[in-house]
Structure 1
Amino acid sequence: MNDAAVRLSSVTRSYGKGAAAVTALDRVTLDIPKGSFTVVMGPSGSGKSTLLQCTAGLDRPTSGTVMLGDRDLTALSEKKLTLLRRERIGFVFQAFNLLPSLTAEQNVALPLRLAGRGPGRAAVLDVLERVGLRDRAGHRPSELSGGQQQRVALARALVTRPDVLFGDEPTGALDSRTGREVLTLLRGMVDAGQTVIMVTHDPMAASYADRVLFLADGRVHDALDSPTADLVAERTTALAVAPC
């Protein structure tokens, strides 16, 4: 486990019962190395969102295990799982989910307050510096561009120093230039040791990753190391037309 930030073993997630049951994940086994940037792609209904949710402890598998470092998420009570998510997992979504009445600094400090930890101002400003927004610490979301708001959301996810940062289409609401700026930030954080797992439909966004996993019918059907946008697009197209 020394080199794995996350390990999934035979993870299955089903919804419903009997003939109406739907299997969103089907015996998925994989390792996510520490300090790596992994992208998950696949057509609608392939299981990528369910994979992200199970891996991040937002949903429980029907069977199998999910290890975050040395902790088995599937064995934790809801209370312990909530505490672990607060302390060791970060989230960035397509919607920025910033509180409009709070400044950038206050939004970033919020996870520390929720965890009962006094948010030291120096730590909050330091993480805003990392995303290039220290000089916007006193601005509210309405005073920031979409890209700046997503960078505040990224700083908020990083302020607890999470073991793994999860992104669910984090550049989906941004224009291409701003999206590239956010992806460059993520890439730099990975190069500095952060582990990132991201769901996207965008081959350009996927090209910033170390590895792309392609899901179909709840299984990992293909993987691509050192991806380029063209190679990702080719694999995506091939997967879409492949027979079931």
Structure 2
Amino acid sequence: MVRTTAQAAVTALGATKTYGSGETAVRALDSISLEVPPASWTAVMGPSGSGKSSLLHCLAGLERVDRGRVLLAGRDITSCSDRELTRLRRGEIGFAFQNFNLVTSLTAAQNVALPLRLAGLRPTRQDIHAALDEVGLADRARHRPGQLSGGQQQRVALARAIVARPTVLFADEPTGALDTASARSVFALLRAMVERGQTVVMVTHDPVAAANADSALFLRDGRLVDRLDRAAAAAVAARLADLER
């Protein structure tokens, strides 16, 4: 069930993440605190190595922070067991990535159903059809990935991510490998999710993608250094260029 209360959809409180130890230790996140409102679309940007993907993974519970807390819809996921996190990811969290991760031997419908089946659930044909229809691919349900364009494959991946109606969709460069027209269709799908009350957190390097979001957060050296709300692509690009100097 999608939550649309005033409670933040995602919260980080002093989130810190370090990889390695001793002289080789790398601090990917350095005491980041932020709130993502429900029914909103947030872009995360920054130079290479700024901690964007680490932040996304920690907010989604794919990785654990070393210090600080991460809350999903008010629930502290840093104290969850692995089993609780798995259960949470089945219903509350969706994922979409640049490399679509579709199984080439399965049809679009089978790819959409796969995560639910692996979780021991039995999605109905109606559920699968509704998810594919939502991304405009109901007529491609029996097509395999090799019979689909890159944009269509990404839309199948989005259908797979939304079939369980997650509270929050975490997306890592979801349009990075797409042409302009395909990227626009993905932006429209993400906006439709937000309008239904779901929340999107998206890592991107593309100012145009970030300009479609409600706000853009900027990282540098593992720290949150700026935020722009409803900014034009030119303003996003200029701020990103400043951080890359």
Q: TM-score range by the shorter chain?
A: over 0.9
SS in 2 for 1:154: helix
Which of 69, 72, 81 is the aligned partner of 2:76? 72
Are 2:211 and 1:219 equivalent residues in the alignment?
A: no
Partners of 1:174 and 1:130 lie apart in 2 by 19
Tell me the CA shift for residue 131 of structure 1: 0.4
TM-score relative to the length of structure 1:
0.96
Question: How is 1:88-103 mapped onto 2 (pairs within 5 angstroms)?
Answer: 88-103=92-107
SS in 2 for 1:129: helix
TM-score relative to the length of structure 2:
0.95
SS in 2 for 1:220: strand
CA contact (8 A) 1:87 1:115 kept: no
Tell me the CA shift for residue 110 of structure 1: 1.1
Unaligned runs of 5+ in 1: none
What is the RMSD computed on CA atoms of the aligned residues?
1.1
SS in 1 for 2:244: helix
Which of 105, 113, 120 is the aligned partner of 2:124? 120
CA contact (8 A) 2:8 2:74 kept: no
Partners of 1:149 and 1:45 lie apart in 2 by 28
Are 2:165 and 1:161 equivalent residues in the alignment?
A: yes
Q: Which residue of 2 aligns with 1:149?
A: 153
CA shift digits 1:185-215 (9 cap, x unpaired): 1112212211000000000111110000000
CA contact (8 A) 1:200 1:206 kept: yes
Equivalent pairs counted in the alignment come to 241
Question: How is 1:1-244 mapped onto 2 (pairs within 5 angstroms)?
Answer: 2-241=6-245
CA shift digits 1:122-173 (9 cap, x unpaired): 0110111110001111111111111011000000000111110011001111
Partners of 2:240 and 2:116 lie apart in 1 by 39
Unaligned runs of 5+ in 2: none
CA contact (8 A) 2:7 2:74 kept: no
